[in-house]
Amino acid sequence: MHAALHYGEIIEKEGSLFGSSINKTSRILSLAKQDEILYSLNL
């Protein structure tokens, strides 16, 4: 298992999620290896 966390605004439309936060989380998740949890900080 691997996971990614990012805090930010999302847009929900007809049961789907959109927005730059979703895109950033997806990019972070692609970097996570097995048994890793990665997160971002907005500084």
Which runs of E-coded beta strand occur in the chain?
3-5, 11-13, 16-18, 37-39
Which amino acid type is present at position 31?
L
What does the pLDDT read at residue 29? 93
What does the pLDDT read at residue 43? 43
Q: Containing domain of residue 30, as a range?
A: 3-39
Cα separation of 41 and 19, whole Å? 17
This model's pTM is above 0.75: no
CB–CB of 17/11 below 8 Å? yes
Q: Could you report the per-residue pLDDT of 1-43, keeping only the tens digit for each?
A: 999 988 889 999 999 999 988 999 999 999 999 999 999 876 4
State residue 39 phi and psi, 5-degree precision.
-145, 160
The number of folded domains in the chain is: 1
Give Cα 1 distance to the centre of its chain: 15
What does the pLDDT read at residue 19? 92
What does the pLDDT read at residue 41? 79
